Structure 1
Amino acid sequence: MEYLILGLLILSPMTGYELQQFIKKNLALICSHSAGSVQTALAKLEKEEKVTATETVQGKRRKKQFSITDTGRAAFSHWVAQPMQADKVKNMELSRLFFAGLAKPEERRRAIRDYIRQMEETRGVLCAIQAHFQQMNPQELPPGTDWPEVLRFQGYTIQYGIAAADFEIGWYSHLLYELEEE
C-alpha cells in the first residue's frame, strides 16, 4: 500500500480521502481501499519522512494534503525498478477450489456459478475503467509528468486484469460444464 500511495503522490499531491477514492475507483482490485488502510499507510510514510502533510482549513473542516518527499521519491524509484516477484501473487480463494471435493455437488456448482458471475462483474468494471482511460487527454493533466508513458503502463495493468478475468471466466465455465455433465 505504501508504494502505491507514493506513486500516486508522485503524480499529484492528494488528501487521504482523495487517495482512498482514487484507489476505490481505479485500484480496488489490486489492494484495499479502506480509510483505515490508507490512513495507516500515510502515517507510516509520514513517520519515515517519505511524505509531508500540509494542513489547511476549509470552512469548519481541516484538510491534510500529502506530498511526496525526496526520500519518498528515492524509495519509490528503488522499488519500481525491482523485478516483479511471481511468488508474491497469491490467490487464497483457490483454497476453496482445492477443498471443493468436500462440499456437496450442488454447493460446488453454485459456488462456481457465483464466482463466474463475480468475475464477469469484475471484467465489466475493468472495461469501464479502460474506456475512461482511453478518453483521457494527457494535455489536460498537470504538467511535469510524462503522462503518455504513465497512462501507457496503467493501461497495460487494466489489459492484464481483463485478460485474467477472461481466463478465469473461461476456465471456471469449462469446469462448471464438466461438473454439470457428471
Structure 2
Amino acid sequence: MEYLLLGLLILSPMTGYELQQFIKKNLALICSHSAGSVQTALSKLEKEGKVTASEILTGKRRKKKFFITDAGRSAFSGWVSQPMQAEKVKNMELARLFFAGLARPEERLAAIRDYIRQMKGTCQILCAIREQFQYLNRRELPPGTDWPQVLRFQGYTIQYGIAAAEFEINWYSRLLRELEEQP
C-alpha cells in the first residue's frame, strides 16, 4: 500500500480522502481502499519522512494534503525499478477449486456460476476504467512528469486486468460446461 500511495503522490499531492477515492475508483482490484488502510499507510510514510503533510483550508473545512519527499521519491524509485516477482502473485480462491470435489455437485456448479458472474462484473468495471483512461489520455496534464510514459504503463495494467478477467471467464465457463455434462 505504501508504494502505491507514494506513486500516486508523485503524480499529484492529495488528501487522504482523495487517495482513498482514487484507489476505490481505479485500483480497488489491486488493493484495499478502506480509509483505515490508507490512513495507516500515510501515517507510517509520514513517520518515515517519505511524505509530508500540510493543512489547507477549503471553504470552512481543514484538509490535510500529502506531498512526497525526496526520501519518498528515492524509496519509490528503488521499489519500482525492482523486477516483478511471480511468487508474490497468489490467488487464494484457487484453494476453493482445489477442494471443490468435497462439495456437493449442485454447490460446485452454483459457486462456479457465481464466480463467472463476478468476473464479468470485474471485466465491466475494468472496461469502464479503460474508457475513463482514454479520456484522461486526451486531456491537458500538468507539466513536469513524463505523462505519455506514465499513462502508457497504466494502460498496460488495465489491458492486463481485462485480459486476465476474460481468461478466467472463458476457463471457468469451459469448466462449468464440463461439470454440467459430468457432475
The offset of 1:62, in angstroms, is 1.9
Unaligned residue ranges in structure 2 (runs of 5+): none
Residues 1:51 and 2:51 aligned together? yes
- Cα distance between partner residues in 2 of 1:3 and 1:138: 27
Residue in 2 aligned with 1:125? 125
Does the CA-based 8 Å contact 1:6-1:76 persist in structure 2?
yes
In the alignment, what sits opposite 1:148?
Answer: 148
Mapped partners of 1:138, 1:153: distance in 2: 16
**Between the two proteins, what is the percent identity of the paired residues?**
80
Q: Secondary structure at the match of 2:124?
A: helix
TM-score by length of 2: 0.97
How do 1:151-170 and structure 2 match up within 5 A?
151-170=151-170
Unaligned runs of 5+ in 1: none
The answer as to whether partners of 2:137 and 2:151 remain within 8 angstroms in 1 is no
CA-to-partner distance for each residue in 1:84-141, whole Å, 9 max, x for gaps? 0000011111111111111110000000000000000000110111111112245512
Asked whether the equivalents of residues 16 and 64 of structure 2 are also in contact (C-alpha less than 8 Å), the reply is: yes
Does residue 15 (structure 1) correspond to residue 15 (structure 2)? The answer is yes
Structure 1, residues 7-55: CA drift from partner, whole Å, max 9, x if none? Answer: 0000000000000000000000000000000000000000000000001
- Separation (CA, whole Å) in 1 of partners of 2:54 and 2:25: 25
1:83-98 correspondence runs (5 A): 83-98=83-98
SS of the residue corresponding to residue 63 of structure 2 reads strand
Q: Structure 2 counterpart of 1:8, which letter?
A: L
Given that residues 126 and 158 in structure 2 are in contact (C-alpha distance below 8 angstroms), is that contact kept between their aligned partners in structure 1? yes
RMSD: 1.0
Secondary structure at the counterpart of residue 78 of structure 1: helix
Residues 44-92 of structure 1: per-residue CA shift (max 9 Å, x gap)? 0000000000012334422000000000000000000000000001111
Aligned length: 182
